[in-house]
């Protein structure tokens, strides 16, 4: 009997605590900071943001404060939209590499939403990521858009597929030889020419497949050709992994030949072909912009020469009018997106250009209409910085996703 009474007592207390938390979560919250970087060319100083139910319901210098509003005052702090990494990787076991052409597959097939790395990114201010395909296939699978944080979730599992023009798609492959046995590495492509051949062959077959369907001819359903047909029809863009000038130029020629819009990833030497990219309305998810410590290892253990990187490459792309977003490739810490932004700003980008490159620009590339800006009706995804965003002396003080702090506290 005593145990029953004690259990009922604990249950009553728990219900009261939960009710109190729910009531607090439903109350509007007003955040006051020294500056709000909206994510476009607008800065509100001083600024206020009113949030309720995980959404932004008011923004401005002066806001009418509803009764019962919780107020958070952070003088000297600034606020930006949550950072968006539009070319992240490394969140699960990849099943790619089983074939050269697999755009019908999805990265979510091997995605680990329980990855601690997603929570690490959230603590550093990255609230949304585009999880890109690996570089092991010539035409890789469809990417996915996900929110990070304590409870990550997928927003879109049928994003753009990926064409890998760089050496990664042929690394380790070899042709048949009388001096060695056949293995999983005895496969094409084995060269840059082979990569282009596989890509052109797949796109040509997809074009014929789409034409046959258009004219009512009977064709066997092919999920890979369906996705490539959507690319050729303008319903999807095609991600292109390329680093050096000759790779970028080859991809631009393919884009012109088949009429698709390329979104380049990495693109270290994009500054060398910026004018051609602008002419074809290509976009670039540029980076990581912090140079790697050592050159990548190629076939037979030989180190490949590093791409010709320029510290002010991001600024050159912006000045040429190329749509550009910054990426850390999913890295965190000193290689993370905030540090990538700091490096790009140090070498030419203005603070407003830098903020846009990690908020509204990647949101537009991903087709997201509710993140990337501090705007009425948008998700309450934002970062409170202890100083100016991306300054060497500033850090993310608090990060919120859908109105919930990454630390677990709710508005």
Distance separating alpha carbons of residues 168 and 125, to the nearest angstrom = 30
Percent of the chain scoring above 70 in pLDDT: 82
CA 153 to chain centre: 14
Q: What is the pLDDT of residues 258-283, one digit of tens each?
A: 999 999 999 999 999 999 999 999 99
Are the C-beta atoms of residues 49 and 94 closer than 8 Å to each other? no
Distance separating alpha carbons of residues 157 and 178, to the nearest angstrom = 44
Residue 299: CB atoms within 10 A of its CB come to 13
Is 21 strand, coil or helix?
helix
The CATH H-level (homologous superfamily) assignment of domain 18-82+372-411 is Urease, subunit C, domain 1 (2.30.40.10)
pLDDT band at 95 (very low <50, low <70, confident <90, very high): low
Distance separating alpha carbons of residues 210 and 218, to the nearest angstrom = 11
Give the model's pLDDT for residue 313: 93
How many Cα atoms occupy the beta-carbon half-sphere of 72 within 13 Å? Answer: 19
- Give me the chain's average pLDDT, please: 86
Tell me which architecture the domain covering 83-166+202-368 has in CATH: Alpha-Beta Barrel (3.20)
Token pair of 340 as six digits: 């990538």
CA 94 to chain centre: 17
Where is mean pLDDT largest: 106-115, 135-144, 294-303, 320-329? 320-329
Q: What is the pLDDT of residues 386-398, one digit of tens each?
A: 999 999 999 999 9
Instruction: List, in sequence order, the alpha helices (H) in 305-369.
Output: 313-319, 337-346, 351-357, 360-365
Portions of the chain given CATH number 2.30.40.10:
18-82+372-411
Beta strand 139-140 with 70-81 is unpaired
Are the C-beta atoms of residues 371 and 82 closer than 8 Å to each other? yes
Those residues with Cβ within 8 angstroms of residue 399's Cβ, 6 or more apart along the chain or in another chain: 82, 122, 123, 124, 125, 127, 382, 383, 384, 405, 406
Token pair of 296 as six digits: 């990548």
Q: What is the pLDDT of residues 197-225, one digit of tens each?
A: 999 999 999 999 999 998 988 889 999 99
Distance separating alpha carbons of residues 79 and 374, to the nearest angstrom = 9
Nearest to 239 by CA among 168, 166, 161, 317: 161
- Which residues make beta-bridge pairs with 410? 404
Token pair of 199 as six digits: 């890509």
Are the C-beta atoms of residues 234 and 261 closer than 8 Å to each other? yes
What one-character DSSP code corresponds to residue 410? B
- Which residues make beta-bridge pairs with 49? 31, 59
């Amino acid at each position: 009997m005593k145990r029953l009474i004690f259990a009922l007592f604990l249950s009553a207390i728990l219900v009261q605590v939960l009710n109190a938390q729910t009531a607090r979560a439903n109350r509007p919250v007003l955040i006051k900071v020294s500056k709000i970087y909206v994510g476009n060319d607008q800065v509100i100083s001083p600024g206020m943001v009113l949030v309720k139910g995980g959404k932004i319901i008011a923004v401005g210098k002066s806001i009418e404060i509803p009764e019962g509003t919780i107020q958070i005052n952070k003088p000297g702090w600034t606020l930006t939209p949550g950072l968006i990494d539009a070319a992240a990787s490394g969140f699960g076991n990849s099943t790619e590499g089983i074939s050269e052409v697999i755009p019908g597959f999805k990265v979510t097939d091997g995605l680990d939403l329980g990855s601690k790395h997603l929570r690490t990114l959230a603590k550093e201010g990255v609230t949304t990521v585009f999880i890109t395909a690996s570089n092991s296939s010539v035409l890789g699978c469809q990417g996915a858009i996900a929110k990070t944080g304590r409870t990550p979730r997928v927003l879109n599992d049928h994003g753009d597929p990926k064409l890998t023009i760089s050496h990664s798609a042929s690394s380790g492959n070899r042709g048949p030889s009388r001096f060695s046995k056949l293995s999983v590495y005895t496969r094409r492509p084995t060269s840059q020419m082979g990569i282009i051949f596989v890509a052109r062959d797949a796109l040509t077959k997809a074009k014929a497949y789409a034409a046959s369907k258009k004219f009512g001819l009977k064709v066997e359903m092919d999920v890979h050709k369906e996705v490539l047909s959507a690319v050729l029809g303008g319903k999807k863009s095609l991600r292109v992994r390329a680093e050096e000038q000759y790779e970028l130029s080859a991809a631009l020629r393919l884009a012109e030949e088949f009429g698709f819009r390329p979104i380049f990833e990495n693109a270290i030497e994009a500054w060398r072909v910026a004018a051609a990219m602008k002419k074809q309305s290509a976009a670039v998810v540029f980076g990581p912009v912090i140079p790697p410590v050592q050159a990548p290892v190629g076939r037979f253990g030989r180190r490949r020469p590093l791409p010709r990187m320029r510290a002010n490459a991001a600024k050159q792309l912006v000045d040429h009018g190329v749509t550009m977003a910054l990426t850390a490739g999913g890295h965190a810490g000193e290689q993370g997106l905030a540090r990538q932004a700091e490096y790009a700003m140090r070498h030419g980008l203005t603070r407003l250009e830098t903020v846009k490159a990690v908020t509204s620009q990647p949101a537009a590339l991903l087709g997201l209409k509710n993140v990337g800006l501090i705007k009425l009706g948008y998700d309450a995804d934002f970062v409170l910085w202890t100083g100016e965003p991306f300054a060497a002396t500033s850090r993310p003080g608090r990060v919120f996703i859908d109105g919930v702090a990454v630390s677990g506290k709710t508005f």
